[in-house]
Structure 1
Amino acid sequence: MTATAVAHPNIALVKYWGKADADLALPATGSVSMGLDVFPTTTSVTLDADREARDTLTLNGRVVDDGALVRVERFLDLVRDLSGSDARAAVVSENTVPTGAGLASSASGFAALAVAAASAYGLDLSSRDLSRLARRGSGSATRSIPGGVAVWHAGDDEGSFAETIPAPPMAMVVVTIDDGPKEIGSREAMRRTIATSPFYPAWVTSTTETVQDMLAACAAGDFTRIGELTESNALRMHATIEGAFPPDPLPEQPQRRGLRRRRRAAGRRPRGLRHRRRRPERRRALPAGGTVPAWPRPWTGSARSSSPAPDQPLTWSAPNARGTTPRAEETTA
C-alpha cells in the first residue's frame, strides 16, 4: 500500500516560540498563521510487511540516514502505535521550499507525512486529530493541516490543535535573500531561549495577549491591525532570542532594513510610476505588514491584493484557501 499527500508551508502572523512540553510538542502559547499556496511538499509512504525491514527516507532524490531519518522513524512509531501495525515504511518526499532555511519546510514536510502515513496505516482521523498528529513531528506542522489563516491552540494533548479562522483576503510576498540552511535548528534555539533569555517570561505573557488581539482583528477584517500585530510580535520574538546565552546569530541586516523600509513606505504617498502612456499615473499603495522568520533567511511581507505575481526573486502567494485537510491518494503496490 502506498499513500501520497501534498501539504503547504505556513508563515506565522503570531509566532510559535517555545514548548510547554517538549515530548508532546505542546506550545507555551497559541499562535496564528497564514497558509501559502506555493512551495508544496509531496510525500509518499509505502508499507513493507517484512519484519526485518527498516524505515527509509528519500528526500529530494537523496537517501537520508542522518538525524532527519531518526525524526521520521520516531514519528512513524507514533502512527504504528495508533494503528496497531508493526509494518515499516519507505518515505519519499519532494520539498519545493528550501529545506531548513526558515520557510517552514518542516511544517509542510510533517503535515504531508502525517496525512500520508495515517492513510497508509489505515487510520481514519479527523482534521483536528491529524493536526494533533502532525504537531508531534514539527510544532508548526499542526497549522499546515487546516490551511488558510489558522490558529494553533495551546493546551494539553487533546486540546492543542489548529483550525481555520475567519480572516480578510490577504496575500504574501516572500523575498528570498539566502536559501542556505539555518546555523542553528529551531528546536535547539527554542531550548536555549527558554533556558537563558531573561525576556522569555514576558514573551509568553505578551504573545498570549497578542493571539487574542489577532483573532479579534481577523474576525473584524482589520488588515491594518493585523499588520501592526504581525510586525510587533516578530520584533518581540527576536528581542527575546537575542537575550539568550550564548548569543545566537542576529537577524540578517537585509531583513531588518526590509521591515524599516516597509514602515517608511506605509507612511508616505506613493510616487508616480511612468508607464507607456503620455501622462504619469499613480499606482495605489497597498496596505502591508511584514515579518521575519525565527532564524531568518527569507524576508516575508504580506499585502492585501489579488495582483499577479511579481518576477523572481519575489514569490507571491495567495492565502491557502482550501481550508481543508491535505488529502491522501492511495495506490496498491
Structure 2
Amino acid sequence: MTKAAVRAHTNIALIKYWGKADETLFLPMNSSLSLTLDGLYTDTFVEISDTFTEDQFYLNDVLQSPEETAKISRFLDLFRNKAGITHFIQVKSINHVPTAAGLASSASAFAALAGAMNRATGLNMDLETLSTYARRGSGSATRSLFGGFVEWQKGTSSEDSMAVPVDDASWDIGMVIIAVNKSAKKISSRIGMKQTVETSPFYPAWVASAEEDLLAIKKAIKARDFEKVGQITEHSAMKMHGSMLGAETPIIYFEPDSIKAIHAVRALREQGILCYVTMDAGPNVKVLCRLSEAGKIKEMLREYFSEEQLLISGPGQGIRPLTAQEAAEYNWQL
C-alpha cells in the first residue's frame, strides 16, 4: 500500500508529562497517563510515489513552508529508513483541533501521521512499537495511538519508552473543554519544558510526585473511584504549573479566564457536582467529570462562557484507518 489515511484522537494528560530527559529522542523525565477524547481529532493522508520530486506537507489544505515541511520530513525519515524506501511523500492533514493552543493538536497530528505511514509503508508495526515512533514527532502522540486511559511509560531507551493501554474508560467518564483562547500559545511546550527543567528549583519535586501520582491514579482507575481520579488529576496539573512558575523567567500560561474557569469548577464542587480541572501548556481548561453530568456542567458554565467556548467529549478510541468514503469527503483518493 502506498496510500493510507488514518484518524487519531487527541488525548489530555491527567498525570502530566513535562520535561525531556533526551531532547533528540523525546524521552520524558517522568511517566504519564492520559484520557483519549472523541471530540477532538486529526485525519491524515499520505501518499508515497516515485513521481514526487520533494516532500509536501499540507495542513488544513494549506501548503506549509519549507521549514515546517522539513520537520515533517525528519519524522517521515524514521519510517523510510525502517522500510528501506527513498521515495518522496505527500502528507495532507486536517486538524479538528485548534493548532498549538494547548489542546493537544500535536498528539493527534503525529499519531495520525505515524499510523498512516505504518500502513502506507507496509511496516504494520504493533501499536506499542509504533508508539515509540510517534513519540519522536510529539511526546504526547505516543498516547493517542490508544483509546481510553493510556500510560506512557518513560522507559530507559528509545525502544522501551512507549504507550500501553490501561482502561477503556467506559464507566461514565467525560470532559467539558473550556476554550479560553484558541490562538497559538506564545511560549511553545518545547521551550517551556526546557526552561522549567533547567531553572526551576521546584522541578525535582514535580518529577518525584508525578511518579507517586501515577501509581495512585492507576489504582483509582482500577477501582473506578472517580472522585480519587479527579483529585489526583487536578493536583497533578497545578503542581506542573507550579513548577513552571518557579522557572527563571516564570512561565505563565494562565489567562484571566483560566482563573475564572477554575473558580467556576470549584463552585460547582461546592454544590455537590464532582468535577475537576486540568490544564496543559496553554490557557484552556479541561473539566474531568462524569459524562452523564457533562451536559448539566456545560449549562452551568454558560453563566461564565459562551456556547462556542464549551465542548463536551466522551472517551475516544485509538487510531483507525479512514474508510474510502470518509477520505473522499476531503477529496483524498485511497
TM above 0.5 = yes
* Amino acid paired to 1:4: A
* Amino acid paired to 1:302: L
Aligned to 1:121: 121
* Amino acid paired to 2:40: F
Distance 1:175 1:332, change over 3 A: closer
Shift of 1:70: 2.2
Please identify runs of 4+ aligned residues in structure 1 that moved more than 4 A.
Answer: 307-311, 328-333
Between the aligned partners of 2:165 and 2:292, the Cα distance in structure 1 is 21
* Amino acid paired to 1:315: L
1:312 aligns with 2:308: yes
Shift of 1:164: 1.7
1:326 aligns with 2:320: yes
Are the aligned partners of 1:3 and 1:329 in contact in 2 as well (CA < 8 Å)?
no
Larger Rg: 1
Between the aligned partners of 1:112 and 1:250, the Cα distance in structure 2 is 27
Give 1 or 2: higher helix fraction: 2
1:252 aligns with 2:238: no
Aligned to 1:45: 46
Aligned to 2:59: 59
Aligned to 1:188: 191
Aligned to 2:70: 70
* Amino acid paired to 2:100: G
Are the aligned partners of 2:4 and 2:120 in contact in 1 as well (CA < 8 Å)?
yes
Cα RMSD between the aligned structures?
Answer: 1.9
Shift of 1:312: 3.4
Between the aligned partners of 1:88 and 1:265, the Cα distance in structure 2 is 53
1:288 aligns with 2:291: no
Percent identity, aligned pairs only, is 38
Are the aligned partners of 2:4 and 2:321 in contact in 1 as well (CA < 8 Å)?
no
Between the aligned partners of 2:96 and 2:319, the Cα distance in structure 1 is 19
Between the aligned partners of 1:147 and 1:67, the Cα distance in structure 2 is 32
Shift of 1:66: 4.7
Within the candidate set 279, 284, 287, 1:301 is matched to: 287
Shift of 1:47: 0.8
Are the aligned partners of 1:242 and 1:250 in contact in 2 as well (CA < 8 Å)?
no
Shift of 1:32: 0.8
Distance 1:288 1:81, change over 3 A: same
Shift of 1:198: 1.1
Are the aligned partners of 2:9 and 2:319 in contact in 1 as well (CA < 8 Å)?
no
Other structure's SS at 2:287 match: strand
Between the aligned partners of 1:150 and 1:22, the Cα distance in structure 2 is 22
Shift of 1:67: 3.8
* Amino acid paired to 2:92: V
Are the aligned partners of 1:45 and 1:92 in contact in 2 as well (CA < 8 Å)?
yes
Shift of 1:250: 4.1
Distance 1:70 1:227, change over 3 A: same
1:231 aligns with 2:217: no
Distance 1:325 1:6, change over 3 A: closer
Between the aligned partners of 1:318 and 1:106, the Cα distance in structure 2 is 20
Kindly report which structure 2 residues correspond to 1:148-187, keeping only aligned pairs within 5 A, or say none: 148-155=148-155, 156-166=157-167, 167=169, 168-187=171-190
Are the aligned partners of 1:12 and 1:34 in contact in 2 as well (CA < 8 Å)?
yes
After superposition, the C-alpha distances for 1:176-208 in whole angstroms (9 at most, x for unaligned) are 111100101111111111111111111111111
Other structure's SS at 1:122 match: coil
After superposition, the C-alpha distances for 1:262-309 in whole angstroms (9 at most, x for unaligned) are 2233123xxxxxxxxxxxxxxxx542111112222x211011133575
Between the aligned partners of 1:325 and 1:59, the Cα distance in structure 2 is 19
Aligned to 2:92: 92
Aligned to 1:275: none
Are the aligned partners of 1:5 and 1:113 in contact in 2 as well (CA < 8 Å)?
yes
After superposition, the C-alpha distances for 1:144-179 in whole angstroms (9 at most, x for unaligned) are 001111111111222211122125430000011111
Q: Which runs of 5+ in 1 are unaligned?
A: 269-284
* Amino acid paired to 2:135: R
Are the aligned partners of 1:7 and 1:326 in contact in 2 as well (CA < 8 Å)?
yes
